[in-house]
Amino acid sequence: MKRYWLTPPAIYKSLDDEFHFDFDPCPYPRPEGYNSLALPWGKCNYVNPPFLNSDAPFGGPSKFVHKGIAERDMGRTSVFILPVPWNIGLLMNAGAEIRYGGRVQWLDTSTKNPCPRRAPQIIAILRGQQ
């Protein structure tokens, strides 16, 4: 049995009160054949994409982020709620300053050849409290 998870109403209300959403590109239930990645989005969008590619017939979280970036470039706002690894969540909750670190190609310790995987990295700074 496939299970789906909805945004808790209090979280949605808090965000909607701030941003005033006019479009949800990831509605539940999703109509048969509905592909919001191929549609224009609203002026302000609440985006709770499928977290697993297996739940997303037209594309998973990264596809929705790419679409959100394209919509932003057309003057539209999108508010995403996305899972993060536990260590990132802990750092953010502790007040870490988060910076984009780019797509780093790490070097092999022996050969110094670059790793073929170039995943985006973050830089997290926890400043000492005075």
Judged on CB neighbours under 10 Å (0-12, 13-18, 19+), 36 is: buried
The whole domain housing 90 covers 86-125
For 53-97, what is each residue's pLDDT tens digit? Answer: 677 788 888 999 999 999 999 999 999 999 899 999 999 999 999
Q: Which amino acid is at 94?
A: A
Is residue 104 in a domain? yes
- Examine residue 120 and state whether it is found in any structural domain, yes or no: yes
**Which residues 6+ apart lie within 8 Å of 8 measured at CB?**
none
- Cβ-based neighbour number of residue 26 at 10 Å: 17
Torsion sign across C-alpha atoms 104, 109, 110, 115 = negative
In this structure, the answer to whether residues 16 and 73 fall within a common structural domain is yes
Instruction: Answer yes or no: is pLDDT of 3 > 80.
Output: no
Same domain, 103 and 74: no
My answer on whether 53 and 111 are in the same domain is no
Average pLDDT, the chain: 92
Share above pLDDT 90 across residues of the chain, in percent, rounded to a whole number: 70
3 state SS of 68: helix
Give the total number of structural domains in the chain. Answer: 2
Of the pLDDT bands very low, low, confident and very high (cuts 50, 70, 90), residue 1 is: low
